[in-house]
Chains A and B, each alone.
Chain A
């Protein structure tokens, strides 16, 4: 087990190194001079030189990368071309908003997807099954931002129950936060739920056809025991991974939804920094997201190994 964890840790580090390289190269690929582009009409030679030096752009490429890597390791992701503030704090400020949205959406999604997916597999061919399949096909095909707009139209426009957009911090006003998070979380959550429902259903169906489930039935166990002890336990092992991958992607910021609902998270930050050509902030946001993504995956793999006794032997 320890060896397995160590090996996965090492692999994640290699991939993370690759990620930093890609993020670093992004800036190099900008046609022309990124600092000049970013400053635009606000150009003044002094700021220009300062920013170039701070971003290390006056160094040779390889030196720049190792410099970038070294500073990234100490938590220094450079300064914003726009505000001159450190990127690390700009990015971290946005984390709570994204985190609260992502977690709410995933909780919402699992609350729908688990009962629906499990029932749909156990009662395959029933009304519930058909409803679940229509729901998941709908969710996989619908653009989330369109569903968000429809949500605004209905709940903010026609019914007037919820604010159309905006953000209130959970720590300041829980009720205000809840009313603001409802629409974006439901939008993201429904899409996530449809994906999860699909996976849970197919994973359950696969396990239900396993010989050991027939063995359990042959022992005369109650259906509830067969499903809970024999089917679910096996079927949920791959599902855990999918839930985590979903959560990780959402932590990356649902860019479009955050833009639509004016939700000041990582996604919105990414969008703003693209608009403003604030490349260091863009780099920082992407790096953080990818690192989070890798971290969640690493944790999931370890959890996975704990859930499935066969893994450690392989």
Chain B
């Protein structure tokens, strides 16, 4: 194992108990109730979900209501976030774009979670050549900076919502595979797993009933933090014009389009960026609180790799 991997493992060192996933989740939720930062984060997330679901209904005007007479208007009562270079209402666009961010975040982390956990589970459980092959593949994916790999995938598949989700999902898969594998390695040596093996339970059953619940803690933490990073990645992709395509609004794209006017029209830079920041911050606050409760030693690899 390479030294960096060693550190990665150290950073994602998992402490597992036989407490099971349900108990851990309950413990986590009750701890979150007493953490003001986590509560704030959760409240922001709840608000975001509402906006994501009802954005176009909440928006005061249509996202593509072009009105050249009213272009680049500063914030006012009729346009609280001002208007853009085409006279569109920035508030409405920010509200509607929430859905895309959340959707890309959830779907891509979902992809990474399912694929990564499956690979990590098999690699850690069966060890041997399968482990070697799978983990070397993960190493290869890890050799690319996150955003570069995502950009390359989108470049090949063509820009758009679906490809952005796939690209981000692929990029975050190795982290889940590693966290899972590290957890499996420590759990599979424990008495209850050996006991299950000795009474002849099938491998799949053991993985599902005994191994998975016991590595739930680091996975929950990794998921919530990955959501934050995935949303940042989505914003970066859409900033580069590789995310959801116009005329649909996206926060990153709004910043890109507004960057040339930003010295005359500060609101074009401030509001979409603040929306990204608050969303990511909310996921991070909840994720950090979960980590403090569930898995205090884990400092995720993704944090170390955030820059790209």
Contact = CB atoms under 8 A, between A and B. Distances in A.
A248 B143 CA distance: 10
B232 A143 contact: yes
Contacts of B263: 152-153, 156-157, 164
Given A145-B236, A146-B255, A255-B240, A293 B144 contact: yes
A15 B140 CA distance: 5
A277 B151 CA distance: 12
A256 B140 contact: no
Contact of A153 (B235, B269, B288): B269
Among B155, B252, B277, B303, max chain A CB count under 10 A is at B155
Interface string A264-297: 0001001101110101001000100110011001
Interface in B226-248: 228, 232, 235-236, 239-242
* Chief secondary structure at chain B's binding surface: helix
Contact of A195 (B136, B154, B269, B303): B303
Interface stretch (A117-125, A223-231, A298-306): A298-306
A1 interface: no
Interface string B263-303: 10010011011101100110011001000000000010001
Interface stretch (A86-94, A174-182, A214-222, A239-247): A239-247
B7 A141 contact: no
B308 A255 contact: yes
B168 to A, nearest CB: 14
Given A18-B140, A195-B303, A270-B151, A146 B276 contact: yes
A22 B140 contact: yes
Among A145, A282, A297, A301, max chain B CB count under 10 A is at A145
B306 interface: yes
Contact of B145 (A16, A252, A305): A252
Interface in B138-178: 139-141, 143-148, 151-152, 154-158
A285 B7 CA distance: 27
A26 B152 contact: yes
B280 A301 contact: no
B273 A143 contact: yes
A297 B4 contact: yes
Contacts, number: 186
B145 A26 contact: no
A47 interface: no
Contact of B148 (A146, A246, A252, A301): A252
Nearest to A16: B143
A271 B305 contact: no
A299 to B, nearest CB: 10
A114 interface: no
Contacts of A143: 232, 235-236, 239, 252, 255, 273, 276-277, 280
Contacts of B299: 198-199, 202
A254 B146 CA distance: 11
A150 interface: yes
Contacts of A305: 3
Among B140, B228, B284, max chain A CB count under 10 A is at B140
A115 interface: no
B56 interface: no
Contact of B3 (A153, A164, A241, A255): A241
Contact of A141 (B140, B158, B259, B284): B284
Given A141-B281, A202-B299, A254-B308, A15 B152 contact: no
A202 B300 CA distance: 12
Given A18-B136, A270-B151, A141 B280 contact: yes
Contact of A26 (B137, B156, B228): B156
Given A250-B307, A255-B147, A301-B2, 4 more contacts: A143-B255, A146-B273, A255-B240, A297-B4
Interface of A: 8, 11-12, 14-16, 18-19, 21-22, 26-27, 29-31, 137-138, 140-146, 149-150, 152-153, 156-157, 164, 188, 191-192, 195, 198-199, 202, 238, 241-242, 245-246, 248-250, 252-256, 259-260, 267, 270-271, 273-275, 277, 279, 282, 286, 289-290, 293-294, 297, 300-301, 304-305, 311
What are the nearest 7 A-B pairs in CB distance?
Answer: A146-B273, A301-B3, A157-B263, A18-B140, A252-B145, A141-B281, A274-B155
9 contacts: A8-B2, A15-B139, A18-B140, A19-B143, A145-B236, A245-B304, A254-B307, A271-B240, A290-B143
